[in-house]
Amino acid sequence: MSKSVYLLLGVHAHQPVGNFSHVIDDAHLRCYGPFLRTMHGYPEFRFSIHFSGWLFDQLLSRYPKEMKLLKEMVGRGQAEIFGAGYSEPVLAVIPYRDRIAQIETLSRRLEKTLGKKPEGAWLTERVWEATVVPALADSGIAYTTVDDYHFLCSGKKMSELDGFFTTEEDGRKLDLFPISEALRYKLPFSPANEVVAYLEGLAREEGDPAAIYFDDIEKFGIWPETYHWVYEQGWLREFLEGVLASKIIKTMRYSDYRKMARTRGVIYLPTTSYIEMNEWTLPVPAAHHYADLVQESKHSGTFEQNKAFLRGGIWKNFFSRYPESNWMHKRMLSLSTRLDALPKRKRTAQMIEALFEAQANDAYWHGLFGGLYLPHLRRAVYRAIVKLEQLLDSASKRDAKQVHDLDLDGHDEAFIQNGLLQIAVRLDGSASLCEWDVYKLSHNFADTLSPPEEHYHRKIHFQESEPHSGGVYNPHEKMGFKDRITPEDLKTNEGPKSLFMERWITQSGIARPAYELVHDADSLGIAFGARLGEGRVAKRFRLEKNRLFAEYAFEETGEGTFCIELNLAMPSCDGPAGRFRIGDDIMGGFGQELTVQNLKSLVLEDDVLGGKLSIHLDQGMGCYARPHFSVSQSEAGFEKIMQAVTISLSCRPRELNAPVSICFEVE
């Protein structure tokens, strides 16, 4: 018998819901288009491909020529299309009913457009929990792919992972293919002839061995240096021709291999994702400890033997790591529950679409790519959340004021809404706003990010080594610098970046008022009181049409300065579309500092938002505005990202002869 190996090559194409049009165009120019055109020229090379639903629809409308090539490849049996949740949610963190709806929506879309209903599904970020099995099976999915690491964590040996296994949960079964980590790191970063030789080395005379690859298609053209390497220098063509010329390697779709080969037996996988994710999801210093253990194991030569037992965190840790992610997630879940409770006759396609977009995974986590750190991705989630809530309110009226602990942090939040605006007030002593929604704009002005400490910050001060020779730069292994980073940029002790966080500044130091809720029967307002210096401060919010009022009254406070910090999410960030205006004068952009001694009125104009926010004060206050940046890692290197406009308003209570009233008007 001659040796052989079956190459199951799969690629996953995805762009986050709400990503910029120019990013989609660039991704198609450098990756999706040339990849499809190249593969179309080799009809004997079988492969599998997955497009997330939102991206699939974008490409259908913008690039029908290449999508027609995809349909031809599916029709002639060359390409197998994989399904998933339509908006690329992490299935493990959305309800069962939404898992079914998401998967079936994309499957129907693919069948209608490409003529073939998917049998396999891409599992977003390979986040595995056994609870996803019933929904996948009930949606007509027979198999999915996860990392070989998942199997190692269940006790399997690497030598066993050249075929598929079967698992079951609650009476449903699902076949699982282990993706080779070695291939993920070789394609397309190693020379094509070396990859072909590696594949041939996996061949055996019996047992139907499979070389299993399924990874981001963006590595084939979008990642640093890869467009030149993969297309201009001909890596992809050389690889395809080398595989087809081999007498040992046989390309095959996952569906065909599954029909030909037998399952390797039953398997039960632990809750996990790919090995890099297990580090990203851990908080500092646990992530440092984990990374150090991994490095020690690598240096001692025991890593391959021990890595299955060097377990990091799980994906859901992102909700406990980042309060902003947790808040979005719990808001999404609450609206999903409301939608499910709505009579079917009142549910609309718009509601379903908004829910799906609110469940898109990208803005909920952060690893090698920006994710949660990218304001436009969070804004897309909030735009969907606010839109869905408005649609639900129009179908089923809710109370103007509701109080409950949405984010499960042990403190209630008060939600107050008048149909035009909504505020979520924290009852944790800060009396700050963690959400301020404007339904007309589908925007949350409190959508920002507090500066968290990240495990990779300790790498920033080290000079990165040069990319290895013989291949291209792999961001999984090395990080460069996109922006100049200073120690000041890494400060993480500034506290939450909410709206209406106050400080009391005296010669003896800085203190924050600890507010207590004052009984207030007003359904469109809420009042608090706190000790301040030698006296007290009263704080009250109220809604009036499209205006939010914040009112402060002081009593015998003594000498000191009272500062009100506002962290406002302005979609244009530090781009040219946003500006401060006082009267007819433009005072600068949001990325610049602004100081005004006796401010009475300030307008924030934002062309991306499609509206403006006016701040009116009945008494003059000092104003200092500045951009709030965070430092994150991305495929292009470490970078600074503007998260919010931070405005500090200050006054000296002993010099006031009346309470302070601040009106925020949205137009």
Rg (CA), the chain: 27
Across residues 624-629, what is the average pLDDT? 95
Q: Report, as an integer, the average pLDDT of 443-460.
A: 87
Report d(CA 430, CA 428) in Å as an integer.
Answer: 6
Q: Under a CB-based contact definition with an 8 Å cutoff, are residues 38 and 382 in contact?
A: no
| Given 125, 279, 437, 447, the catalytic residue | 125
Residues 307-338 have pLDDT tens digits of 888 888 999 999 999 999 999 999 999 999 99
Domains of the chain, earliest start first: 5-273 (3.20.110.20), 483-666 (2.70.98.10)
Q: Is 175 a catalytic residue?
A: no
What's the sign of the alpha-carbon dihedral 171, 175, 181, 182? positive
Give the pLDDT confidence of 163-187 residue by residue, as tens digits.
Answer: 999 999 999 999 999 999 999 999 9
Catalytic residue status for 125: yes
Share of the chain above pLDDT 90, in %: 82
Mean pLDDT of 510-527: 89
CB 143 within 8 A of CB 175: yes
pLDDT value of position 466: 41
Whether the predicted pLDDT of 464 surpasses 60 = no
What integer is the mean pLDDT of 224-237?
96
- The confidence band for 547, taking pLDDT boundaries of 50, 70 and 90, is very high
- Weakest mean pLDDT among 195-199, 215-219, 478-482, 632-636: 478-482
Residue 67 to residue 27: CA distance in whole angstroms: 14
Helix, strand or coil, per DSSP, at residue 327: helix
Which residues touch 357 (CB under 8 Å, ≥6 apart)?
17, 18, 54, 87, 380, 381, 383, 384
Q: Say yes or no to pLDDT of 469 above 70.
A: no
SS3 label, residue 14: coil
Supply the pLDDT for residue 620: 93
Bridge partners of 530, per DSSP, are 537
What pLDDT, in 10s, does the model give residues 137-153?
999 999 999 999 999 99
Whose CA is closest to 472, among 185, 200, 665? 185
Q: How far apart are CA 585 and CA 582, in angstroms?
A: 5
Tokens of 591: 């990325």
Nearest to 421 by CA among 407, 403, 402, 442: 442
Task: Indicate the pTM of the whole model.
Answer: 0.93
Out of 25, 216, 483, 489, the active site residue is: 216
DSSP secondary structure of 484-549 = ---GGGG---S----EEEEEEEETTEEE----EEEP---TTEEEEEEEETTEEEEEEEEEETTEEE
* 3-state SS class at 216: strand
Share of the chain above pLDDT 70, in %: 94
